[in-house]
Amino acid sequence: MNVLDRKIIFVADLFLEDGVNGGAEVCNDELICLLERKKKVKVIKIHSQVLDSIFINEHKNEFFIIANFMNLSKDSKSSLADKLYIIYEHDHKYVNTNDPSKFINMNVPTRSIVNYKFYKNSFAVLCQSKIHAQVLQKNLLIDNVINLGGNIWSDEKLDFLEKNITVNKVIDNVVLLSNNKNKGTPAALNYCKKNNIKFEGIESCSYEDFISKIAVSKNLIFFPQWLESFNRVAVEAKILGCQLTTNSLVGVMSESWFRKLKGENLIPFLKQKREDIISIFMDLYSAKDKADVSNKFLKIRVPKITIITSLYKGAEYIEHFMKEIIKQTVFDKCELLILDANSPDNEYEDTIKSYLKRYTNIKYIKMKKTLSVQETMNLGLEHSSGKFITLANIDDTRRYDAFEKLSKALVLNEDIDLVYADCYETNVPNETFQKNTSNGKLYEHSIYDFSKENMIKCQPGPMPMWRKELNEKHGTFNTDFKFAGDWEMWLRCVKTGVKFKKILDVLGLYYLNPHGLSTSNESEKERFSEERLLFHKYKEVFGERVFNQFKGYFK
């Protein structure tokens, strides 16, 4: 089938003809009309609750646009996984509350993320505004996000708006009277009461009556209670010369054009924006693969990353380690520091030197005396030139995009200092992430979302990534600890308010090495002694409940 002969299957919870006149339904209807009338594409509308695997497979060669999908079944999502579909995102269906704004800095905890694979597997996720796209991307860390930066208005609606621009203002303040709790009517009423502001209410009415009311008003008082992906009313008010008293949750306010344009100047802009938006949909519709539309996806620039590897008696792992580490998708943006703590195993130096000849971003430093892991790590920090720091133990391995994903999480979450993810655990050495015998078993310490209470385990685990400035502010690894130096470092940071974040993915493979420093039976007694000391020293981090829960164990 020629790609341009495909039908579009448009999926939504509700359509305009269902009697729902919300912004999403209006925008969907405008888009469908443009696709059918202007682009001559056949569009089949189907409710999300009706869509099933039988229908999906019968239309497997068609192009699916998934708009609101609260009623889409798990089975339907799975059936779409290998089909061509895009998500036309109207809100925040990657959050179980449908609202990221309730979380600090809109950082959604891993436990509250939903539909992750559905977003990741889509050909593209189309967002309504800059902040809408940024918040979605920083929480999902997917690279198929497009910011449309606008909505669609028909010529008829724009003409009606234009006719009302010069209407005299006879009302000082208006408030939207809505039963939708997200629209914030109680907050607007409280604001008016607190500030002794007289207002008139606008109840549910036709579009024409609504615009006529806004047109004669000087100020619209509106305090949404969730992150509005766009908000058409804000744009319409600005066209009509109606001021907006609101909060920071109006998505369109993040767009530079909204801050620059007003009144009649917005009309031609919105007409051009409509053409730009429909062109994006048509480009996606006609694309053969993502390479055809890669210039439309939001790019995240990754800074230099320093990879610190402490090496001591690692001859049996070094070849596998080197072969795997250079496969990292952003290895060209990394520097690999291999710090040899005076290991007696010299036979692997030829292996390392062969890589040094091929990669200028690999550095090998061999000490003249045996250093502890903490001393070696601090030496690595001293020699590091990357903005981000990560560890790479020679007996562990990573998913090939692990460094890329972790670094993007730090780039997009400016208030977070350290990120980590789940990793599988294996008892077999020199396995790859792609082919291993873990059977899905996860490394225990990193399972839970970050919290002070959960730091009873060393949550960052063996594969964290953090900002170098963290060490500049909070010091380096404590060389008094031979085994629990990383736990001490992270507890010290958490105590002073440093923020960690767990991202939603499995990015590594941890080898439970029976001869490892932190896992061997020989070191168990000394290791426990250090952990007990830290448990009591940082009991205020864990809190009283957790301290009482574990004090018997650390007795």
Given this model, what pLDDT does residue 524 score? 77
How is residue 275 written in tokens? Answer: 């053409």
Q: What is the pLDDT of residue 468?
A: 97
For residues 174 and 183, what is the distance between their CA atoms, to the nearest angstrom?
A: 14
Rg of the Cα atoms in the chain = 28
**What is the structure's pLDDT at 525?**
85
* Bridge partners for 250 per DSSP: 228
- Tens digits of residue pLDDT in 323-343: 999 999 999 999 999 999 888
The model's pTM:
0.90
pLDDT at 288: 87
| CA 212/CA 240 separation, integer angstroms | 9
Structure tokens at 170: 């006879």
Q: What pLDDT is attached to residue 516?
A: 60
Domain 155-261 fold: Rossmann fold (3.40.50)
SS3 182: helix
CA distance 30 to 90: 14
The DSSP secondary-structure symbol of 476 reads -
Note the pLDDT tens digit of each residue in 408-462.
999 999 999 999 999 999 999 999 999 999 999 999 999 999 999 999 999 999 9
Instruction: Write out residues in the chain with pLDDT < 50, as ranges.
Output: none
What sign does the CA torsion over 168, 171, 172, 177 have?
negative
- Whole-number Cα distances in Å, 140 to 99, 189, 301, 399, 421: 14, 36, 16, 17, 13
DSSP category for residue 127 = E
pLDDT at 555: 82
Joined tokens for residue 503 = 């991202």
- The confidence score (pLDDT) of residue 522 equals 57
To which CATH superfamily is domain 3-152+285-296 assigned? Glycogen Phosphorylase B; (3.40.50.2000)
Instruction: Return the pLDDT at 337.
Output: 97
- Residue 82: Cβ-neighbour burial (10 angstroms; 0-12, 13-18, 19+): exposed
Question: What per-residue confidence (pLDDT) applies to 342?
Answer: 87
Nearest to 187 by CA among 202, 196, 204, 175: 175
β-bridge pairing 418-426 and 8-12: unpaired
Q: What is the pLDDT of residue 312?
A: 87
Q: Do domains 155-261 and 305-550 have the same CATH topology?
A: no
Q: Which is it for strands 171-176 and 200-202: parallel, antiparallel or unpaired?
A: parallel
Give the domain ranges of the chain: 3-152+285-296, 155-261, 305-550
Note the CATH architecture for domain 305-550.
Alpha-Beta Complex (3.90)
Find the distance separating the first CA and the last CA of the chain, reported in whole Å.
Answer: 71
Plot region of 520 (φ>0 → left; ψ -120 to 50 → alpha; else → beta): beta
Residue 74 parent element (H or E): helix 74-80
SS in 3 state form for 262-310?
Answer: CHHHHHHHHHHHHHHHHHHHHHHHHCCCHHHHHHHCCCCCCCCEEEEEE
- The pLDDT assigned to 520 comes to 55
Contacts of 376 (CB under 8 A, 6+ apart): 310, 339, 341, 367
Closest CA to 470 of 497, 504, 451, 450: 497
Determine contact, residues 460/500, Cβ cutoff 8 Å: yes
3-state SS assignment for residue 390: strand
